Amino acid sequence: MVTLIFLGKLADLAGEDTREVAAPLDWDGLLALCDTPLADEISGERVKIALDGDVLADKTTLAALAGSEVALLPPVSGG
């Protein structure tokens, strides 16, 4: 399994903080798992993706294997 972590307002959109999904998981697979508003948000340039704690330079190259954690990171809130 791969663990998805939804941070900030993405958790509201997803309706949950985490979700376990089947491994392996790539970018198209991730979008296919999300309903339209969430997929649109994740596709936006302000959302970053981290694989096991490292931000991907290009999130469309996502390739998560079993046991890994994929975090969906909206812009941080600042002051």
Partner 1 sequence: MAISVQLLDTPFNPGALVGPFTNAHPGLGGVCTFVGEVRGGNGVEALELTHYELMTRPGMKKLASLAAQRFGLMGLLMVHRTGVMHPGEPIVLVSACAQHRRGAIDAVDFCMDHLKARSWFWKREKRSGAGPNGGWHWIEPRADDHTDLARWQ
Q: How many other C-beta atoms can be found within 10 angstroms of the C-beta atom of residue 75?
A: 11
Stretch that binds partner 1, among 21-29, 31-39, 45-53, 58-66 (CB under 8 A): 45-53
Q: Does 75 bind partner 1 (CB under 8 A)?
A: yes
Question: Which residues ranging from 55 to 74 are in contact with partner 1 (CB under 8 A)?
Answer: 69, 71, 73-74
DSSP letters along 10-67, please? HHHHHTSSEEEEPSSEEHHHHHHHS-HHHHHHHHSTT-EEEETTEE-SSGGG-EEPTT
Q: For partner 1, which is the closer residue by CB, 1 or 32?
A: 1
Q: For partner 1, which is the closer residue by CB, 10 or 25?
A: 10
